[in-house]
Amino acid sequence: MQRLDRRIGLLSALPLAALLVLSFLAPLLLVALFSIMPQKVFTIAHLPDFSAYAEVVSQGYWRSLAWSIGMAVAATTILFVICWPLAFAMAKVFKRFTLVLTIGVVMTLFVSENIRLFGWVLTLMKGGLIEGHWRYWTGEGFDGLLYNVPVIVFGLVYVYFPFMLFPLAQGIAMVPDDARQAAADLGASRWRILREIDLPLAAPGIVIGCLLCFVLSAGAIAESKLLGGQAVIVIGDEVETAFTYGQNWPLGSALSMVLIVIVGALALLAINRVDLDALLGRRSS
């Protein structure tokens, strides 16, 4: 009976599993294959070589990669620092207000990222909301606040805010109040409790939040395009250019592969260190 159940279970999981394989693994495989094709070909029916990777190294694409990863690290760090107190309050202090806050933050996701970023463009640009008012009141204008690296990081922080906030709140909710009180009772200061109890016990939420924000930020294009102008070119932008304007699919694929490998390795490293089951409530302890 149990065996039959299991067989039926496997059978009914099959269509979805097939869909996942096709939609997730197949494109990845295709990109991997294209990355080892000669330059500027449009099929995978060629002898493989590593000329695309050579191009990645020789043409200084590492600079875009470094900008992307650097800004992703900065955005993730800032997000963690600003979200921690808020997430703590949501999990432990606010009662009904947590729901209001959750709905408020989730609502922003209902509007397209690009439209929200355009909102910021209109706010920050020369002649926009801020500079325009400034000029009106003081008579002296400035160049606007767009087209620099900090504003790109600001854009990343703004867009990925919910992706840090909710996992953190979830993680902090897992820290038993008793453990925190017991630590205080045993003489630990607030700072010690944060280090010894809160951070390690909320680690699954921290890792998931940081990972989401880092991975999404590292591959983000819109923030650097809309807010950053041409201040820096991010890796996602380079990939897009190679596939479209450059008509060099193998180069685009090779750039993608480099990004995927770096981000994937970091993700695996991080996930290995936390107990995801605990966060998802599969095991109680």
Partner 1 sequence: MLQSVPDDTKPEGAQAPSTAPARETILTIAGLRKTFGAFTALDGIDLKIAEGEFLTIVGPSGSGKTTLIRILAGMEEPTEGAVLLRNTRIEKVPANQRPTCMVFQSLALFPHRSVGENIEFPLKIRGTDRAERKTRALELLELLRLPADYYAKRIHECSGGERQRIALARALAFDPEILFFDEPLSALDYRLRKTLEKELKDLHSRTGKTFVYITHSLEEAMVMSDRIAIMRAGQFEQIGTPNDIYTRPRSRFVAEFMGEVNLFPLTAEAGSALRLAPGVVDTKAGGLLMARPEVLRFLSAGQSAPVEVEGKLEAEYNLGGRLQYTVSTGIGPVTVEVLRDQRPAAAIGAQVRLGTDPADCHLIADA
User: Considering beta carbons, is residue 152 or 193 the nearer one to partner 1?
Assistant: 193
User: Considering beta carbons, is residue 63 or 195 the nearer one to partner 1?
Assistant: 195
User: Residue 176 Cβ, how far from partner 1 at the closest point, in Å?
Assistant: 7
Binding site for partner 1 (CB under 8 A): 176, 178-179, 181-189, 192, 196-197, 200-201, 203, 285
User: Residue 151 Cβ, how far from partner 1 at the closest point, in Å?
Assistant: 39
User: Residue 81 Cβ, how far from partner 1 at the closest point, in Å?
Assistant: 22
- Exposed e or buried b for every residue in 159-170, given b needs 16+ CB within 10 A? bbbbbbbbbbbb
User: Considering beta carbons, is residue 91 or 157 the nearer one to partner 1?
Assistant: 91
User: Residue 174 Cβ, how far from partner 1 at the closest point, in Å?
Assistant: 10
Burial class (CB in 10 A: 0-12, 13-18, 19+), 242: buried
Question: What is the DSSP code string of 87-154?
Answer: HHIIIII-STHHHHHHHHHHHHTTS-HHHHHHHHHHHHSTTSHHHHHHHHHHS-----S-SSHHHHHH
User: Considering beta carbons, is residue 181 or 244 the nearer one to partner 1?
Assistant: 181
User: Residue 282 Cβ, how far from partner 1 at the closest point, in Å?
Assistant: 14
User: Considering beta carbons, is residue 48 or 200 the nearer one to partner 1?
Assistant: 200
Q: Give start and end residues of each alpha helix (H) in 139-248.
A: 149-173, 177-185, 190-193, 199-201, 203-218, 222-226, 235-243
